[in-house]
């Protein structure tokens, strides 16, 4: 049996479609017509489209969430925590994936404005001039997660100190020849702050040699870049900007016929709990993604209610010592 529509309700009740719509949205309808429509709706088990109804209301109780990808463990855990936090306060999340496409992020922002969502959470990998321009024009609250932006409220990881901690651990294990595999510096969090933390610690030692390579966020890209570099350079440790990059580096090390840890040590950032190659557990930094999601949901709801929130909130981290780093 096909789903009953507003047109069907109108025909059965013998009223205009506009009358049914007015009734469903709390408009002015006579008591006699209200009773008639109520009876028809109950008898036919009609369920109105909540999203369509919300677009006509002053408050939609929808929060748009723009995500850079859906195949990242970090992003997915953050999104789940955001969704749970919003649902607990009777808000709905409208999650839009951009597949790491910056132009698509701008398009999705514009789409959400047209959909009249109550607020927007942007899980960002980069904040461009286009982002800043559209943020200034928004008439709804927006929260940036993962990147700092002077024109918006933000929630970020403590990338600098996390990087410094990894740099400290590498030096404590007496590594002097280091390859850092990072990402483009347009990403201020991972590409700049995380790297700066690592490098600031390493540069405290005059006898440490550092070489750098830049890759994409994928394991495949990291494998290709690091394979080419490691054919000509022989570091004792590779510090990777993410665990996914570390996975690609580990593949390259094995492909070159070398042993992870014994020949080349590896570290990462992320704490996914998924990188285990031949009994090797990656030494890494675990960011609290659940906390990020929970705080994000709580913050955007406060912003929607026009309650005060901090300009910037920093999420801490936990150092996870695996067995992927050799002490020299």
pLDDT tens profile 274-318: 566 667 789 999 998 889 999 999 999 999 999 999 999 999 999
Q: Show Cβ contacts of residue 110 under 8 Å, excluding neighbours closer than 6 positions.
A: 134
Listing DSSP states for 143-203 in one string gives EEESS--TTSEEEEE-HHHHHHHHHHHHHHTT--EEEEEE--TTSIIIIIIIHHHHHHHHT
Counted residue by residue, the chain has a size of 328
Task: Report which of 270, 266, 221 is spatially closest to residue 246, judged by C-alpha positions.
Answer: 266
List C-alpha distances in Å: 100 to 52, 104, 173, 264, 306: 29, 8, 36, 31, 31
What is the pTM assigned to this prediction? Answer: 0.75
For tokens 């994409």, the residue is 216
Q: Which residues of the chain, if any, have pLDDT below 50? A: 1
Q: How many CB atoms lie within 10 A of CB 302?
A: 16
End-to-end CA distance of the chain: 72
Q: Check residue 1 and give its pLDDT.
A: 43
- Cβ(277)–Cβ(288) below 8 Å: no
Q: How many CB atoms lie within 10 A of CB 47?
A: 9
For tokens 């690091």, the residue is 226
Task: Report which of 84, 269, 75, 252 is spatially closest to residue 160, judged by C-alpha positions.
Answer: 269
Here the tokens at position 248 are 């690609």
Between CA 224 and CA 228 the distance in angstroms is 6
Q: How many CB atoms lie within 10 A of CB 116?
A: 17
Q: How many CB atoms lie within 10 A of CB 12?
A: 18
Here the tokens at position 222 are 């990291």
């Amino acid at each position: 049996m096909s789903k009953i529509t507003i047109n069907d309700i109108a025909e059965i009740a013998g009223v205009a479609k506009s009358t049914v719509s007015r009734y469903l949205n709390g408009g002015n309808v006579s008591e006699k017509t209200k009773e008639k429509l109520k009876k028809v709706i109950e008898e036919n088990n009609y369920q109105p489209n909540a999203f369509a109804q919300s677009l006509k209301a002053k408050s939609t109780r929808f929060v748009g969430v723009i995500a850079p990808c859906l195949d990242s463990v970090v992003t997915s855990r953050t999104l789940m925590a955001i969704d749970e936090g919003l649902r607990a306060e009777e808000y709905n999340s409208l999650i839009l994936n951009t597949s790491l496409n910056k132009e698509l992020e701008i398009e999705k922002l514009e789409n959400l404005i047209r959909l009249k969502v109550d607020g927007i959470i942007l899980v960002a990998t980069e904040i461009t001039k286009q982002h800043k321009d559209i943020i200034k024009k928004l008439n709804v609250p927006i929260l940036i997660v993962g990147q700092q932006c002077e024109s918006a409220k933000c929630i970020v990881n403590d990338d600098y100190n996390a990087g410094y901690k990894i740099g400290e651990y590498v030096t404590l294990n007496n590594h002097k020849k280091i390859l850092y595999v990072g990402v483009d510096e347009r990403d201020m969090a991972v590409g700049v702050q995380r790297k700066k933390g690592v490098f600031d610690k390493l540069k405290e030692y005059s006898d440490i040699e550092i070489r750098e390579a830049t890759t994409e966020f994928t394991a495949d890209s990291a494998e290709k870049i690091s394979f080419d570099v490691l054919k000509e350079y022989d570091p004792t440790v590779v510090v990777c900007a993410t665990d996914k990059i570390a996975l690609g580096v580990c593949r390259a090390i094995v492909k070159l016929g070398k042993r992870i840890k014994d020949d080349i040590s590896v570290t990462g950032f992320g704490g996914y709990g998924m990188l285990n190659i031949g009994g090797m557990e990656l030494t890494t930094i675990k960011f609290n993604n659940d906390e990020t999601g929970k705080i994000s949901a709580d913050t955007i709801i406060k912003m929607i209610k026009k309650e005060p929130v901090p300009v910037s909130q920093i999420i801490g981290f936990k150092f996870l010592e695996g067995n992927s780093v050799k002490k020299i």
